[in-house]
């Protein structure tokens, strides 16, 4: 009974305090305000939009939630928030808690297909080397290379009739050894990777420092084709040459085993006849071995002798 008396006395004192303080304690009013603010955030922009009833502009001077402004026991006016903030809160709530069917995550953009190499620009806006059948292009030559300046970089395009690798080497002579080599390698996963090598004698050693960037490659129609850029000027390095200087270009291609290059297809790969400057664009064709038979001096002399013999007859 004593405890009940204490509780009754406490309840009476609390009621008196609430009557003196406007109907509820500051802590209760604060909690109610926070609860109403949370409801506004979750309700979105609709709850934050103003209406005549909320503004107290209606007849009788009614305040928020329909209470008279002079009511002493009424709730305090709920703070209004800007509609843009309510919109953000509503959208955030929807995106965070609603099902993903209405708000799907954005998908990655499709990968751009490999742009075909244009040979019409050879000798005009880029330099080209073609090795193979006369009149061949980047898709039919045994080997094709192009280069052009783009700002502080040189863009290279390589293509060869192989399922393994295609490469270009920058050499101070026409011999293999001590050369900076860039190779496009077709691996077992179907990707074409650009790798950096350094020729040590007849052996190509892969170098981890790779100056290539903006790399792309494709393996189609039994051909390895790639495109990449590398800086014209590089910090001094034994394995990376400065392309602003002129070098002999070594052309090679061959098979690959598990993404590793092996010996090139032909015993004597073609090379540029003279040093190449990246600032000079030429379109140079080199006939492959199958089309060199009637161009050698000995064969020409033999053809002339046979023609003379047939015309003059036997003695």
Pairing mode of beta strands 143-150, 165-171: unpaired
Dihedral, CA of residue 217, residue 172, residue 267 and residue 131, to nearest 10: 50
Alpha-carbon gap, residue 37 to 304, rounded angstroms:
103
Q: Within 13 Å of residue 208, how many CA atoms lie on the same side as its CB?
A: 0
Binned at pLDDT 50, 70 and 90, residue 203 comes out as: confident
Dump pLDDT digits (tens) for 22-47: 455 555 555 666 666 666 666 555 44
Split at pLDDT 50, 70, 90, the class of 99 is very low
> Residue 207: pLDDT band by 50, 70, 90 thresholds?
very high
Spell out the domains of the chain, with CATH numbers in brackets. 127-291 (2.60.40)
Q: For residue 220, what pLDDT band results from cuts at 50, 70 and 90?
A: very high
User: Pick from 243, 241, 192, 244: which is nearest to 219 by CA?
Assistant: 192
Could you tell me the pTM of the whole model?
Answer: 0.59
Pairing of strands 127-132, 256-257: unpaired
In which band, very low, low, confident or very high, does the pLDDT at 260 lie, cut at 50, 70 and 90? confident
Percent pLDDT > 70 in the chain is 59
């Amino acid at each position: 009974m004593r405890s009940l008396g204490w509780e009754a006395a406490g309840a009476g004192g609390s009621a008196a305090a609430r009557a003196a303080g406007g109907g509820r304690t500051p802590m209760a009013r604060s909690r109610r305000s926070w609860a109403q603010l949370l409801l506004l955030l979750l309700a979105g922009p609709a709850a934050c939009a103003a209406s005549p009833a909320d503004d107290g502009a209606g007849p009788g001077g009614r305040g928020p939630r329909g209470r008279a402004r002079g009511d002493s026991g009424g709730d305090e006016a709920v703070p209004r928030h800007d509609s843009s903030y309510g919109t953000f809160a509503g959208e955030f709530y929807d995106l965070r808690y609603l099902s993903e069917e209405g708000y799907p995550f954005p998908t990655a953009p499709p990968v751009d297909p490999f742009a075909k190499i244009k040979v019409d620009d050879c000798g005009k806006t880029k330099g080209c080397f073609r090795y193979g059948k006369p009149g061949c292009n980047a898709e039919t030559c045994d080997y094709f290379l192009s280069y052009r300046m783009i700002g502080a970089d040189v863009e290279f395009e390589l293509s060869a009739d192989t399922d393994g690798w295609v490469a270009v080497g920058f050499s101070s002579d026409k011999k293999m050894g001590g050369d900076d080599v860039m190779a496009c390698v077709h691996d077992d996963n179907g990707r074409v990777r650009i790798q950096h090598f350094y020729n040590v004698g007849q052996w190509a050693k892969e170098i981890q420092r790779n100056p290539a960037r903006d790399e792309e490659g494709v393996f189609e129609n039994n051909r390895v084709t790639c495109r990449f850029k590398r800086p014209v000027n590089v910090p001094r390095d034994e394995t990376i040459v400065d392309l602003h200087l002129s070098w002999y270009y070594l052309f090679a291609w061959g098979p690959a085993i598990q993404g590793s290059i092996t010996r090139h297809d032909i015993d004597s790969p073609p090379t540029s006849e003279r040093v190449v400057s990246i600032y000079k664009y030429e379109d140079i064709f080199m006939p492959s071995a199958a089309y060199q038979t009637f161009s050698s001096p000995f064969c020409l002399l033999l053809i002339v002798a046979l023609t003379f013999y047939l015309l003059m007859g036997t003695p």
